[in-house]
Amino acid sequence: MRTLSFGQAVLLLFDIHKDDKVLSAKLKKLYLQGVQSAADTMEIHTLFSQCGLSEQYEISCEPRIINEDVSRRYFETHLAFETLKHSLDDLPLSELQSYFASLYHSLIPEKRDKFDAYLAGSISPSEDKFAAEYVDAIAKINTNETYGLLSREQKDKAILLMKCCWLGILHGSLRQLPLNIYGTGFFAEINRGRVPKDDSGKLSSSFCAGKMPFSSRHFGLMKQYMPVPGNDIIYTQNGFTFIKPSDQNNFNPEAEWPKLNFAALVHPFSCSISGTLLCQFQFMKHLHDKSELQFSSPDKFIVLLKCLTSALLFNSGGHVYNEFFAVLQLPEVKKAFEFMDGFAQINMLSVLYNGNEKAFDAALTDTIEYTKVILAKQAFHHKLTNF
């Protein structure tokens, strides 16, 4: 019997029931955020049985299978790009420029000068992993065929988002900022569960020796060995000359973050809960305490959060969406952002589904078609090998 991930089974279930508006809407939400209770799990397994999926496939809830779910990684990567296409126009350029200026001018001169030097090309970004990633991202936004589907203003906003994220990381070492919780709780290294891959050094050496031009030609969460059509928005002919975050780590299933992440049965693991987003929240809280926060209203904050997380996910797959949105659920973050009406209710559903249905549905449609092709090839291979 062939194996399906739990998430792939939900996709097939949705395809079967797509004309049932009530059930299909429920399945969309479950697929995005994962199971939230034992009752969710029981209900979905009953539906699997009723439509015969349980008889056709072994539906796996194992962390290893969830992590290697190509359909889910494909979905989140497509959702990220579709979200950027549909939401960047709602992000006010002037306020984003002002936010960037706050980050830039608050940086100590030494770090600011180095940031400028990396962007100008007078220092090679290869000496710093963050510089390498963000300089490459900015170059791709300007020149890559996929990003060519965005308007010039949308590209300018995407570039500013990347610069803001990079500057936020540079600010992260300044302990006088609020929300100094890095290294504690889920951010403690023992709890994050990241296990660097043993072969990453070998892969890096291969490119340095000129044996491989790129470590990966896949945007987003798709690992370098996962199947991606050459005409897909995820595929890039001019790939990545560094090891993408999505290819860097395995995970420890006994660590606290992986246990929570995989309990929802749909979320892969990339780099664990996002320190990059925490850095942004630290600086936003700092600005709010000085009455200088540009995105202090819930509506503006949600648009920024939607675009920022999607830009980061699509480019190099540093985090899955769950690793970003889990930061909002931390008690310390909720308390720090009590000034914002409704902050405690902001989550994946309110940001990536509600008001984002066009992007969500486009990504879901593409993912179901991709999954059908993958499963058809697996079935053909199964017949050949079991003839």
Of 97, 104, 74, 93, give the one whose Cα is nearest residue 151: 93
- For the cut 50, the answer to whether the pLDDT of residue 175 exceeds it is yes
pLDDT score recorded for residue 201: 45
- For the cut 70, the answer to whether the pLDDT of residue 199 exceeds it is no
- Model confidence over 112-167: pLDDT tens digits? 999 999 999 999 998 899 999 999 999 999 999 999 999 999 999 999 999 999 99
- For the cut 90, the answer to whether the pLDDT of residue 51 exceeds it is yes
| Residues constituting the chain | 387
Angle, helices 298-316/152-171, rounded to nearest 10 degrees: 90
pLDDT score recorded for residue 381: 65
- In percent, how much of the chain has pLDDT > 90? 89
pLDDT band, residue 316 (cuts 50/70/90): very high
pLDDT band, residue 378 (cuts 50/70/90): confident
Angstrom distance (rounded) from CA 223 to CA 68: 9
> What rounded mean pLDDT belongs to the chain?
94
Domain range annotation of the chain: 72-353
- For the cut 90, the answer to whether the pLDDT of residue 200 exceeds it is no
pLDDT score recorded for residue 208: 47
Q: Helix (H, G, I), strand (E, B), or coil: what is residue 101?
A: helix
**Cβ burial, residue 315 (10 Å; 0-12/13-18/19+):** buried
- For the cut 90, the answer to whether the pLDDT of residue 311 exceeds it is yes
- Model confidence over 65-77: pLDDT tens digits? 999 999 999 999 9
- For the cut 50, the answer to whether the pLDDT of residue 205 exceeds it is no
Would you say the C-alpha torsion 126, 105, 321, 15 has a positive or negative sign? Answer: negative
| The token pair that represents 307 in the structure block | 């675009």
Q: Helix (H, G, I), strand (E, B), or coil: what is residue 254?
A: coil
- For the cut 80, the answer to whether the pLDDT of residue 318 exceeds it is yes
Least confident of 21-30, 208-217, 298-307: 208-217
Contact between 300 and 95 under an 8 Å Cβ cutoff? The reply is yes
pLDDT score recorded for residue 127: 86
